[in-house]
Amino acid sequence: MDDIHELGNLPPPDRLSISPATHEDPNRISTDIPQHDNTIESQPTSPQTWRFWAIITALAITGLMSAIEGTIITSALPSITNALGGGDAYIWVPNAYLLAQVAILPLAGQASNIFGRRHLLLGSVALFTLGGGLSGAASSMGMLIAARTIQGLGGGGINLLMETIVTDIVPLRERGQYMAIVGIGAVVGATLGPFLGGLITDHASWRWCFYINVPIGIASFGILFIFLRVKYDRNLTWSTRLRRIDISGNAIFVAAIVSALMALTWGGTIYSWSTYHIWTPRLCPEPSFPRQVVSNRTSAAALALTFIHAIVAYWVYYFLPIYFQAVRGLSPLRSGIYTLPNVAGGLVFAVLGGVLLSKSGRYKPLHLAGFAVTTVSFGLFSLLDARSSDAAWVCIQLLNALGSGMLSGVLLPAVQAPLDESYVATATGVWSFARYFGCIWGVTIPSAVFNNECRRLASTTITDAGIAGDLAGDSAYQHATGAFLHSIQDPALRAEVVQVFTGAMRTVWLVGIAFAALGFLVSFIAKEIELRKELNNDFGVEDKKDAVISPATEMQAVPSSSV
């Protein structure tokens, strides 16, 4: 029955594994879970203190900074690639950032339990700001990719800990609503990103796409330093804390992801799909979590939906600007403006999804509706060409924003619904991994489709050998700009190039339909579980009395236990 909870014997929360449960009370902690010395008491359902709202506001501002970075290069990336001569390395400008986000998640989730959310989030903001400054100063594609990796390490910590803090201080039933409130900053940042990227590229140096994060990062650090005060276990020695961190698996974890991405990025462009360069990486171990993480069908289905949603969301973020630049011949600035219906519409619909979840307590209908609408929007995107009306692309974007935006705040509560409240950080870490791993593929898969389709169509459509060569191999994305189109003086030849880009974009959207439709089908797997209305955890908003700890107490050695 859908209303039966999938709870069970769970391992210590400092391990990245979650097991299903057998008891049916969603608010009761299993007797098999290691208990703390102190008793965890139910907390009020809707904390409204000034400290609570100060934390929410600080998180929203931090989310604004991170989200700007996530979308600001969507309009500027072709120009950046052309300026630095990146060639096939362009895909690593977004993917290095996303890959670093994924790599840091398991470590950040565990470390936040041990060292506290505050310290890890402040460190992440500092790292993110440093990476932004280094990215702006990059003199080569290799330096830019390295700097983006540093920035991604900070960005991964920021996004994971923002979500974890919200789940710490808000009951499960209300999380969608408060995540939507925190997400306002992120959506505003995502909305401004393409516009700022296009504006900077057209009227200043592309370097300011990265430099802009430095002042915002400094402001965010200051606000968090003042207002972010949340509880954590202070009674552990440094040696005890360090012994509880597991780092050894991350090298294999990252290597496996990089190998898979190399195979997909190079396949059909740099090397033939049948060569060893492509198949060897596919034989490497793939990253996976222990079986316990996905041992109940609701959490497993919600994680799969999170992965798919991230793919289709980034699919649109990165390739809608290509439609406007490569097919419509617009500048980066105008393409950024023209994508506003999608990213701005997501704000309204994300809040709507969170409110509906809070009011109804039901996430499954929202999952089904969100993926159904997203699937339809991808089909409509495939109909767009150079002659499509403004009303057409605006309405299709709003439709996509409705489906994708509504899903953004209602997936994490579904992952956490079958799990005990003491496993917030672990569950959020696994969910963040699924989301950012999906983001990587949401950029890589359509890029591979676009480049391969351009190569195929250029060989049969374009009469000029030089122009056909520009669109062959891995160079199509680099030339998918309005400036490239306008550099072609012959109108007939320009029309041939537009035809190639239009055909490639149509295939990109058609392939995307399969992923969105898969999400709709997977939505049927999850059970509908009643969402808890109370908090039962050791974290939350810190009162002044909680912060008064003597130095002796801070360094007192205690036996290792669950935080």
Q: What is the CATH number of the domain that holds 140?
A: 1.20.1250.20
Confidence class for position 334, pLDDT limits 50, 70, 90: confident
> Whole-angstrom Cα distance, residue 250 to residue 266?
24
- pLDDT at residue 418, rounded to an integer: 80
Res 289 pLDDT > 80: no
**Does some domain include residue 329?**
yes
427, 19 in Cβ contact below 8 A?
A: no
d(CA 89, CA 432): 26
Q: How far is CA 59 from CA 45, 352, 433, 468, in A?
A: 20, 20, 20, 48
pLDDT tens string 95-133: 788 778 877 777 777 677 677 778 888 889 999 999 989
φ, ψ dihedrals at 7, nearest 5°: -105, 160
Residue 230 near residue 116 (C-beta atoms within 8 A): yes
- For residues 558 and 544, what is the distance between their CA atoms, to the nearest angstrom? 23
Closest CA to 50 of 229, 232, 231: 229
How many Å apart are CA 93 and CA 140, to the nearest integer?
Answer: 12
List Cα–Cα distances, 383 to 507, 509, 563, in angstroms. Answer: 10, 9, 53
Q: How many domains does the chain have?
A: 1
| 36 part of a folded domain | no
Has residue 37 been placed in a domain?
A: no
Q: Which domain holds residue 137?
A: 50-234+247-548
Identify residue 338 by its one-letter amino acid code: Y
Q: 338-392 pLDDT, tens per residue? A: 988 887 788 788 878 888 888 888 899 999 999 999 999 999 999 999 999 999 9
More confident residue, 23 or 224: 224
Question: Cβ distance 436 to 102 under 8 Å?
Answer: yes
Residue 561 lies in a domain: no
Percent helix, strand and coil across the chain, each to the nearest 5: 70, 0, 30
Q: Where do the H-state alpha helices sit in 462-543?
A: 465-470, 482-486, 491-522
Tell me if 308 is assigned to some domain. Answer: yes
pLDDT higher than threshold 90 for residue 548: no
558 is a domain residue:
no
The answer to whether the CB of 257 falls within 8 A of the CB of 149 is no
Residue 382 CB: number of other CB atoms within 10 A?
17
What amino acid occupies position 271?
Y
In a domain, 315, yes or no: yes
Percentage of the chain lying above the pLDDT 70 cut: 70
- Containing 370, the helix (H) or strand (E) segment is helix 364-381
- Domain membership of residue 324 (yes or no) is yes
Is 12 strand, coil or helix? Answer: coil
